[in-house]
Homo-oligomer: A and B are copies of this chain.
Amino acid sequence: MPARRTIGVDLGGTKLLAGAVDQRLGVHHRAQRTVSGLQQSVLLDVVVDAVTEARESAGAEVAAVGFGIPCLIDRRIGRVEVGVNTPLADLAFGDVMAERLGLPVFVDNDGNTAAMAEHRAGAARGASDAIVLTLGTGIACGLILDGRLYRGARGGAGELGHMVIDLHGPACQGNCPNRGCAEIYASGTALAREARQLAEVHPSSGLAAALNERRELAGPLVTELAHDGDTAAIEAVSLIGARLGIVITNLANIFNPEVVVVGGGVIAAGELMLAPARSVVAERTLPFLHDGLRIVPARFGVEAGMIGAAALAFDGLEGRPPAETRA
């Protein structure tokens, strides 16, 4: 009889990834769903369906479900407060899911679950101070400070995507009333936007050809073209990398971390993005704080949030601290 497993669910703005995970964070079954544009009730049905699939194929007893969701969760009252790209605002999401699934449910911000996975068994393993960035539609983040996940007074810490890096920059999106926010410059969305502009500037580029073929110039295609050597695509990736370098410079000066881990779909670009980022960080960070700083890709790549959500569920079953954010 194999040891029990948990289901980890990374519920993003466009995709859901569920996996049956063992206590050593090995993944035994994956279920994917597209969730963009769904209304709340349909979304909840899709979530239940994906978890049920993962549970049936888990190959062992499933003891709990953990969720990483792109939401601010009020740790004082355990309720989803702001659904950033997901229609879950003001929902007692954990309670609803626990009832529908008949299993204990634990919920945290997706930036936090990604950080938990990378800190426990990935690229930030053993670090006392680490920052895990996930570049997607926006920028998610988890802060490991003095060896522990830092959540802030209400559980909303780590909204680094809404750090102003350009005083006079353009207005941000959604529920953010700010201007010149980091995620306007260094997210997956920013990469797609820059790629579309560069396609126009370089009409004989691979980017332009893809645009003419009416293919979607989103992160995956741009990074693929960059790896294939298309100079316009490389320029787009490199531009985002350099701006990511400014974001990381701020984080180094503010937090003095040992390691900054970069994940999310965009990190498929690998060194094409990280090398320009490192170069800007070396140029701009206070030397004392740059010395020894590592900037590395996420070990679990796009699965970090899902694997961390499963870890959250194991922690929750054992009554360990992250359970305090149970929604």
Which of B82, B249, B288 is close to A81, meaning CB atoms less than 8 Å apart?
B288
A230 at the B interface (CB under 8 A): no
State how many copies of this chain the complex holds: 2
Across the interface, do B254 and A159 meet the contact criterion of CB distance under 8 Å?
Answer: yes
Question: Nearest B residue to A246 by beta-carbon distance?
Answer: B164
Q: How far is the CA of A160 from the CA of B250 in the complex (A)?
A: 8
Which of B154, B179, B256, B288 is close to A289, meaning CB atoms less than 8 Å apart?
B154
Across the interface, do B254 and A157 meet the contact criterion of CB distance under 8 Å?
Answer: yes
Q: Is the interface of A mostly helix, strand, loop or mixed?
A: loop
Across the interface, do A246 and B151 meet the contact criterion of CB distance under 8 Å?
Answer: no
- Tell me whether A156 and B289 are in contact in the complex, defined as CB-CB below 8 angstroms, given that A146-B148, A164-B249, A164-B250 are known contacts: yes
**A: interface residue count bin:** 35 or more
Which of B167, B175, B288 is close to A165, meaning CB atoms less than 8 Å apart?
B167
Across the interface, do A160 and B254 meet the contact criterion of CB distance under 8 Å?
Answer: yes
- Tell me whether A153 and B128 are in contact in the complex, defined as CB-CB below 8 angstroms, given that A148-B146, A163-B250, A284-B164 are known contacts: yes
Q: Using Cβ atoms and an 8 Å threshold, which residues of chain B touch A303?
A: none
Q: Using Cβ atoms and an 8 Å threshold, which residues of chain B touch A180?
A: 167
